[in-house]
């Protein structure tokens, strides 16, 4: 029996590895069943009807929330942190958005569309989108209450008073924009309903890169000063360059 260590990790025989692997498999199956139950509970949440007529700006001009569905009954909106005057979008939101085009190819075949929305004006979104090479629809909520109503944009006054409603609690999120995802349903009569929103690590399951890393022996290996993606993730055109410019 080899009791040596590789990279500080214990090394054992194949038979011992199988015992440990099967024990973990039981836990993985337990987690999968719990996740399936949570998914069912998410689908059972009540819905809220959208009464406000939100308008967005994009490459095709003004669009309503209903038009963002593009003929489908389900819509997921990524709240992308790109505020007015920003030179580029949030690195974490960009990391997540890098996965969107591949998913959207399949989503649109299954009665779901995916759209990205930011508070920056469209003319400030367009060059960054072009730079990153993304194809998904991206619209500006600059002239609407969409971002404030869905609690992803805050005023300085709200933050200073601890009245910014972020991730279902009042406080100061530390920034005027946060990321997240909101989900909507449009019925045959054209009525739109808000069904779900998630923020912070709630939308982490949409990051496929993390799913790969979670299988790796070193895991996410985020061991810098922040212990999160900011320790290593860059805009994909900035890898091999120094820091976040």
Give 115-149 pLDDT, tens digit per residue: 999 999 999 999 999 999 999 999 999 999 999 99
Same domain as 23, residue 110 = no
Domain-embedded: residue 226: no
Is-contact 138 116, C-beta < 8 A? yes
Whether residue 5 is contained in a domain is answered as: no
Whole-prediction pTM: 0.93
Three-state secondary structure call for residue 194: strand
DSSP string, 41-100: HHHTS--EE--S--EEEETTEEEEHHHHTTT-SEEEEEE----TT-SS--HHHHHHHTTH
Q: CA triplet 71, 77, 78: central angle to 5 degrees? A: 145
By CB neighbour count within 10 A (0-12 exposed, 13-18 middle, 19+ buried), where does 107 fall?
middle
Same domain, 201 and 95: yes
Q: In this structure, what CATH number is given to the domain that contains residue 110?
A: 3.40.30.10
Residues 36 and 70 in one domain: no
Residue 218 lies in a domain: no
Q: Are residues 25 and 141 in the same domain?
A: no
Q: Quick one: pLDDT band at residue 28, thresholds 50, 70, 90?
A: very high
* Cβ contacts of 31 within 8 Å, gap of 6 or more: none
Residues 117 and 201 in one domain: yes
Residues 124 and 151 placed together within one structural domain of the fold: yes
Q: Closest Cα to residue 96, out of 78, 114, 73, 110?
A: 78
Residue 71 has pLDDT above 90, yes or no: yes
Cα-trace Rg, the chain: 21
Domain housing 73: 50-206
Look at residue 102 and tell me if it is in a domain.
yes
User: Does 134 lie in the same domain as 101?
Assistant: yes
Q: How many domains is the chain partitioned into structurally? A: 2
- 240: in domain: no
- 91 and 64 inside one domain: yes
Q: Give, for 135, the enclosing helix (H) or strand (E).
A: none
In percent, the amount of the chain with pLDDT more than 70 equals 97
**Residues 113, 68 share a domain:** yes
């Amino acid at each position: 029996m080899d009791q040596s260590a590789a990279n500080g990790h214990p090394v054992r025989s194949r038979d011992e590895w199988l015992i440990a692997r099967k024990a973990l498999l039981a836990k993985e199956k337990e987690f999968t069943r719990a996740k399936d139950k949570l998914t069912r509970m998410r689908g059972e949440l009540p819905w809220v009807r959208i009464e406000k007529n939100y308008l967005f700006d994009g490459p095709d001009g003004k669009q309503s929330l209903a038009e963002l569905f593009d003929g489908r009954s389900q819509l997921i909106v990524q709240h992308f942190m790109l505020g007015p005057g920003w030179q580029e979008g949030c690195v974490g939101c960009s990391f997540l958005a890098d996965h969107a085009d591949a998913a959207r190819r399949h989503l649109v075949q299954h009665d779901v569309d995916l759209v990205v929305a930011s508070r920056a004006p469209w003319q400030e979104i367009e060059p960054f989108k072009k730079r990153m090479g993304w194809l998904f629809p991206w619209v500006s909520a600059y002239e609407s209450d969409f971002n404030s109503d869905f609690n992803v944009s805050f005023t300085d006054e709200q933050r200073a008073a601890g009245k910014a409603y972020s991730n279902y609690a009042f406080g100061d999120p530390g920034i005027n924009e946060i990321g997240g995802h909101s989900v909507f349903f449009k019925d045959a009569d054209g009525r739109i309903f808000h069904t779900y929103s998630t923020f912070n690590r709630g939308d982490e399951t949409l990051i496929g890169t993390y799913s790969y890393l979670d299988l790796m022996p070193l895991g996410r290996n985020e061991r810098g000063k922040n212990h999160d993606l900011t320790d290593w993730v860059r805009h994909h055109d900035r890898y091999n360059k120094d820091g976040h410019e």
